[in-house]
Amino acid sequence: MRRINVSFPDDHCGRGTNFGWRAVVTRFLILLGGLLPFGGAHAQTYPAKPVRFIVIVATGGGLDATARFIAARLVPKLGQQVIVENRVGAGGNIAAQYVAHSPPDGYTLLLTSNGHTLNPLIYATPGYDPQKDFVPVMELTEGPVVLVTQPNAPFKTLKDVVDAAQAKPDSLSYAHGGLGLPPHIAMEMFKQAANVEIVSVAYKGAGPAVQDVLGGHIPLAMLSLAGATPHIAAGRLRALVSSGATRWPTLPEVPTMIEMGYPDVVYLNWQGILAPAGTPPEIVARLQKEIAAVLAEADVKEFLNGIGAAPVASKPTDFESMLKADDIANQKIVSKLKLKVD
């Protein structure tokens, strides 16, 4: 076999052949590096500054409690502060719009719930597209909502509420933390199933709704179990019924809608994290990994169960599938209840 000798001319500096060839290769690699995507660089340097959780509810709500607990546990894992910022209004639309128009760099994240897929169906101009404007990070938790009243109120059971509403239609009212949020939808489902008229009063978050019930300004409230549990445990509120398929472990004495004769009224409150569309997959994966590790900690599970939320910690693809299924279910609910927000 003949050996083929290949020679290269000296470079323009007049140096030897080997140096000239190395220079050509070096320049080529530098040029190629400039053309490659820097997703890996993003993942290696992220996060380089504080991360913000934009929460759709007011301070004191169940999602807010979850956000603050997880944020505190994420700090040592991310090596940066995690700031919780509440942007309340329009059933979560204000927060969603803000995050949708934020830079897709992993530093501004949306903590939301069922209303995320529901709002575009009931608001004429929600200001965001739940599928096009976001990428899923993970579903955090699931849990029921609960109907509560004051301990000294005349309602001892759900039947008492139904009887009072049927005796005097529109004489009762109930508070909830925002139009389109799970407590609102669950109560409207119940009202239709029971054929009663109870006036809906929307507040800017669960916190203000709870305060008005505690103060005796409104007789009933439908709340996430997370927002209601501390007051139930302290004896400041009485839980009449929950929207879960089974009784909640920490409230074994509270019956479900199914048990009370309303088998079609089952509605779970999910909580999840989304990032602006275009956020690098490496950053989404890092966030999912670190948050899932937080949710797996025993005391975190205990905390969440205590406020009425069961950890889920899904993968982004699983959360995406859940959101699509949720959208289909919400379309049926909106059509059935004829829900619209002016």
Q: So what's the pLDDT on residue 306?
A: 82
Q: Find out whether 283 and 46 touch, Cβ atoms under 8 Å.
A: yes
What SS3 class is residue 309? coil
Mean pLDDT of 65-90: 95
Residue 62 in domain:
yes
Tally Cβ neighbours within 10 Å of residue 189.
20
Whether residues 279 and 324 share a domain: the answer is yes
Whether residues 304 and 164 share a domain: the answer is no
Residue 166 in domain:
yes
Of 1-5, 46-50, 106-110, 155-159, the range with the lowest mean pLDDT is 1-5
Mean pLDDT of 141-153: 95
**Displacement of CA 300 from its chain's centroid (Å):** 17
pLDDT at 39 over 80: no
Whether residues 118 and 153 share a domain: the answer is no
Of 92-106, 128-142, 185-199, 301-315, the range with the lowest mean pLDDT is 301-315
Whether residues 164 and 313 share a domain: the answer is no
Q: Which domain holds residue 185?
A: 144-242
Contact residues for 220 (Cβ-Cβ < 8 A; gap 6+):
147, 148, 149, 155, 161, 172, 173, 174, 175, 198, 213
Whether residues 148 and 234 share a domain: the answer is yes
> What b/e readout covers 112-125, taking b as 16+ CB neighbours within 10 angstroms?
bbbbbbbbbbbbee
| Each residue's pLDDT tens digit, 97-143 | 999 999 999 999 999 999 899 999 999 999 999 999 999 999 999 99
Whether residues 81 and 100 share a domain: the answer is yes
pLDDT at 37 over 70: no
Whether residues 171 and 308 share a domain: the answer is no
Q: So what's the pLDDT on residue 42?
A: 53
pLDDT at 34 over 80: no
Q: How far apart, in whole angstroms, are the C-alpha atoms of residue 286 and residue 290?
A: 6
Q: How many structural domains compose the chain?
A: 2
Contact residues for 321 (Cβ-Cβ < 8 A; gap 6+):
none
What SS3 class is residue 13? coil
Q: Find out whether 256 and 177 touch, Cβ atoms under 8 Å.
A: no
* Pairwise pLDDT comparison (186 vs 38), residue with the higher score: 186
Q: So what's the pLDDT on residue 44?
A: 67
Tally Cβ neighbours within 10 Å of residue 245.
13
**What CATH code is carried by the domain that includes residue 276?**
3.40.190.150
Whether residues 113 and 187 share a domain: the answer is no
| Each residue's pLDDT tens digit, 208-227 | 999 999 999 999 999 988 78
Residue 289 in domain:
yes
Element (H, E) at 323: helix 316-337
Q: 23 falls in which pLDDT band (50, 70, 90)?
A: very low
Q: Kindly report the pTM of this predicted structure.
A: 0.74
Mean pLDDT score across all residues of the chain: 87
Whether residues 155 and 229 share a domain: the answer is yes
**What CATH code is carried by the domain that includes residue 170?**
3.40.190.10
